[in-house]
Amino acid sequence: MTLLKTPLNKTHIESGARMVPFAGWDMPVQYSGIIEEVKAVRNACGLFDVSHMGRIDIQGSAASDFLNKTLSVDVNKLKPNRAKYGVICNIDGGIIDDCIVYKFDSDHFLLVPNASNKTIVIDWLNQHKPKSNVSMIDITTQHAMIALQGPKGMQTLNDQVQSDMSLLKMFNFTQEAFCGTDVMIARTGYTGEDGVELFVPESKAAHVWNILVDSGAKPCGLGSRDLLRLEAGLLLHGNDMNTKINPFEAGLEKFVNCDKDDYLAGPALRKIRSEGPEKKLVGFYVDGNRAARPGYTINHGATQVGYITSGTYSPTLNRNIALGYVLTELIDNNKNLKCDIRGQFTDIVITKLPFYSR
Amino acid sequence: MNPSEFKFSEEHEWVNSTNNGEFTIGITDFAAGTLGDVVFVELPEVGSEIKQFEKFGEIESVKAVSDLFAPISGTILKKNENLTSEPELVNQDAYGDGWLITIAPKDLTELDSLMSSQDYGKFTESQSH
């Protein structure tokens, strides 16, 4: 299979990034090294090509009602130029994907799902799309999506634009001229740091990228992005949630309005809410030097009571951290949980998420 | 560049003789690069036996954990204690300060089943395409 290439593919290869296949795309997994990149984002700022994420343009007089029916958040209450994080659940309340929805005006939205789930999301939405008054177009390849993240990110951006971008509120977005290019700037991210995500016309992507690199933003790959999101306690679909997991189990209930009218997953989610989830996602500190990796089992005595969904060494905290599911009844009485790390039963302790916050 | 006097295994370990009949073992620069930042290396105790092409330890990077395979058989004489506090030495200097263990070899003919530096270069080139 031929891998898809983002508008920045050539830039990555010419800069010597290590490229890997990811969700059908040829993506940089690392530039200088994952730990160095994590430190740059935590202490200064880093730059990520996230153009592989899906971009679905949804327009029409019925668009808002359609999204309100399919997304977990109250789309009808969303104000123009604001974005919201939510999940897309199936009829049983299982999580098809998590996404951000951006509202331009009352009949125009942009939906950004994960690269790996874009086709599944489009199929699901198509099944529930009204026959008229909604158009849905996959515009992923029209723009590059570049994330500028870190405490020095806003200053780096402000050097290139007229308006003071630090005034842009979290999860708001705006259009702004960036070195003569019209760019959509959203105060969003996936690293636990302050920052923005830029939607740049495909033809100008390398230009914008290079300007930001020249201004001191460190180019980063997907490896450090994954580590940064884990330190920030942010979930990754496919690891920490999937169609067999509901938002109450994943701890995402605050991004779900079960009670809104016509919500497709509403009946299933209200039932889950009243019964309470059997297992829940929690964060762990893992003893010792060996990291708990996805799929490792969590035991209480001789019984398996859970499993790890993400886990690695955290350079920011200098210890091993993990996310995983544990039977709800064991969470408050957090005693003697052990993770089977390749035969070595290692103490793990439930800890409040996020592991790291700025 | 891979040192010309070293021998290499398909599992990306290197072995090199030192002056006194001991052999030093490590992972290759290619392997270190593929693993990414190494955060933990688990090695067997001094005095234990390792067997050619069998697992003798684990190397953990921020991305994943991989098994270490012995390029030749022997008895462990030393392990690189610096890796406990500075596992990144494996990334920084895979053929030098990032060495893993030294051994007293059991059977020097085992070296014949390993690749030369040149052959290993071709091997990794074919793997990265």
ipTM of this model?
Answer: 0.83
Distance from CA of B50 to the nearest CA of A (A): 20
> Are residue A329 and residue A202 in the same domain, yes or no?
no
Domain final residue pick, A231, A255, A289? A231
Q: Distance between alpha carbon B74 and the CA centroid of its chain, in Å?
A: 14
Do the domain assignments include residue A243?
Answer: no
> Which pLDDT does position A139 carry in this prediction?
98
Do the domain assignments include residue A170?
Answer: yes
Query: CA–CA separation, B56 vs B39, rounded Å?
Result: 18
Say which CATH architecture domain B7-105 belongs to: Beta Barrel (2.40)
The range of the structural domain enclosing residue A146 comes to 9-54+141-231
> Are residue A168 and residue A25 in the same domain, yes or no?
yes
Q: Tell me which residues of chain B have a pLDDT lower than 50.
A: none
Nearest to B40 among A34, A290, A315 (CB): A290
Percent of chain A with pLDDT over 70: 100
Amino acid occupying residue B15:
V
DSSP state of A207: H
> Are residue A40 and residue A168 in the same domain, yes or no?
yes
Amino acid occupying residue B22:
E
> Are residue A199 and residue A330 in the same domain, yes or no?
no
Chain A interface mutation, best of B29, B37, B83, highest count of A Cβ atoms under 10 Å: B37
Do the domain assignments include residue A49?
Answer: yes
> Are residue A37 and residue A181 in the same domain, yes or no?
yes
Query: CA–CA separation, B50 vs A166, rounded Å?
Result: 59
Q: How many CB atoms lie within 10 A of CB A347?
A: 13
Contacts of residue A116, Cβ cutoff 8 Å, sequence gap at least 6 = A23, A24, A237, A238
Q: Write out pLDDT tens, residues A239-260.
A: 999 999 999 999 999 999 999 9
**The pLDDT of residue A234 is above 60:** yes
Contact B93, B29 (CB under 8 A): no
> Are residue A326 and residue A342 in the same domain, yes or no?
yes
Search chain B and give the residue with CA nearest A230: B62
> Are residue A152 and residue A225 in the same domain, yes or no?
yes
> Are residue A44 and residue A188 in the same domain, yes or no?
yes
> Are residue A30 and residue A69 in the same domain, yes or no?
no
**The pLDDT of residue A43 is above 80:** yes
Percent of chain A with pLDDT over 90: 97
Chain B interface mutation, best of A19, A225, A312, highest count of B Cβ atoms under 10 Å: A312
Mark yes or no for CB contact B40/A315 under 8 Å: no
Domain count, chain A: 3
Do the domain assignments include residue A269?
Answer: no
Q: Write out pLDDT tens, residues A91-123.
A: 999 999 999 999 999 999 999 999 999 999 999
Chain B interface mutation, best of A3, A19, A31, A34, highest count of B Cβ atoms under 10 Å: A34
Q: Write out pLDDT tens, residues A195-216.
A: 999 999 999 999 999 999 999 9
> Are residue A146 and residue A217 in the same domain, yes or no?
yes
Domain final residue pick, A114, A138, A162? A138
Mark yes or no for CB contact B39/A30 under 8 Å: no
Q: Where exactly are the structural domains of chain B?
A: 7-105
Do the domain assignments include residue A242?
Answer: no
Contact A204, A193 (CB under 8 A): no
Do the domain assignments include residue A166?
Answer: yes
> Are residue A185 and residue A320 in the same domain, yes or no?
no
**Is the Cβ of B40 closer than 8 Å to some Cβ of chain A?**
yes
**Is the Cβ of B36 closer than 8 Å to some Cβ of chain A?**
yes
pTM over 0.90: yes
> Which pLDDT does position B129 carry in this prediction?
56
> Are residue A48 and residue A169 in the same domain, yes or no?
yes
Domain final residue pick, A197, A212, A231? A231
Q: Write out pLDDT tens, residues A133-152.
A: 999 999 999 999 999 999 99
